[in-house]
Structure 1
């Protein structure tokens, strides 16, 4: 019964939309479902890796830096996918017509942070590290500018 009511509500919301807006909605719903499948698979894989590594074989030493990099790299992958799914859900709920810039910047920052965590500093040259630092700085500035713009009070056109 709840599913039927949900489908009626969704249909009523989609009727006034244009063909392209309906198409966009369907694509977003499909992408959201696919990302949910990826998140479940990633969490399952992470769980198995940790449980098998720690409990059964004892080969996963949490104090080992490479094990730390692997585990937290996989955790960041799940967090990135969840943030991406959340930004798509905002579009699907029709609260925004496009993915918000702030969400894209947050996803990019998370991806670069993941890269920094899994980076092997003995194999990486200084120019690569400098480029990552510049990207983090640039994305941080963009995030601050977008957030600052959202916090400013809206000026009245009469005053």
Structure 2
């Protein structure tokens, strides 16, 4: 392993530890917040604002988990840190989160259309990347 590869490996491990700590704290906060919203305050989970709040927190955790997973893949498989498929998946999750927590009453239609278009394009790019990987895997058989 060259110096830079060792450095990259150490940084990846440090990032994984930091992100793991953030995920644990965020998960504990999620539990406390959901308990406070649904049990203490007795809010209705079907109410749109409560739904937005809870699923916004859950989606944020999913994004962090996927990000940590991509770093772990680079550590254990010795793969490059930047993998376009993973970056696109994280982008799709972030856009979906934004659409879930978006307040359609206050947001302009142009913003909603732009986010929807970005999500559609990100989904198409993700699908194209997956198709390319699948066809390359099929050819190598």
Unaligned runs of 5+ in 2: none
Matching residue of 2:67: 84
Matching residue of 1:136: 119
Paired residues, number? 139
Matching residue of 2:139: 154
How far is the alpha carbon of 1:155 from its aligned partner?
A: 6.5
Give the Cα separation in 2 of the matches to 1:88 and 1:155: 26
SS in structure 1 of the partner of residue 45 of structure 2: coil
Residue 13 of structure 2, aligned match among 25, 29, 32: 29
Give the Cα separation in 2 of the matches to 1:64 and 1:105: 31
1:47 maps onto 2:14 in alignment:
no
Residue 110 of structure 1, aligned match among 93, 98, 102: 93
1:71 maps onto 2:51 in alignment:
no
Decide which structure has the larger Cα Rg and report it.
1
Give the root-mean-square deviation of aligned CA atoms: 1.4
Unaligned runs of 5+ in 1: 1-16
Give the Cα separation in 2 of the matches to 1:93 and 1:78: 22
Q: 4+ residue runs of structure 1 moved beyond 4 angstroms?
A: none
SS in structure 1 of the partner of residue 139 of structure 2: coil
